[in-house]
Amino acid sequence: MRIIIKLFGGLKANRDFPQNEEGDIVLELSEPIAVGEIIETLNLNKKPFIVILNGVNLVDFSTKVKDRDEISLFPPIAGGYR
């Protein structure tokens, strides 16, 4: 099972992981695991963050990934027009 993880806004994994041509992390898993477990494995440099799974905002980190899932992680964003 292959999962792609995209990090945005200065997020970095504190460990080395295999990457694809675009610089996204590529995880090869033998069985489905929870998104929260994947996040812990990445040992990210910043928390909290927003999690998008296959284009949908994810709030339940116990959701298990499936083959070819794509996880995007963003730091919280603030600001706007005053």
Closest to 71 in 3D by CA, of 81, 14, 40: 40
55 pLDDT tier (thresholds 50, 70, 90): very high
The CATH code that applies to domain 2-74 is 3.10.20.30
Tokens representing 16? Answer: 């080395």
Instruction: Report the sign of the C-alpha dihedral through residues 17, 23, 24, 29, in that order.
Output: negative
Q: φ, ψ for residue 42 (rounded to 5)? A: -70, -25
- Locate the domains of the chain by residue range: 2-74
Distance, in Å, from the CA atom of 68 to the CA atom of 82, rounded to the nearest integer, reads: 41
Residue 58 pLDDT > 90: yes
Tens of pLDDT, residues 17-44 = 999 999 999 999 999 999 999 999 998 8
Tens of pLDDT, residues 63-81 = 999 999 999 999 887 665 6
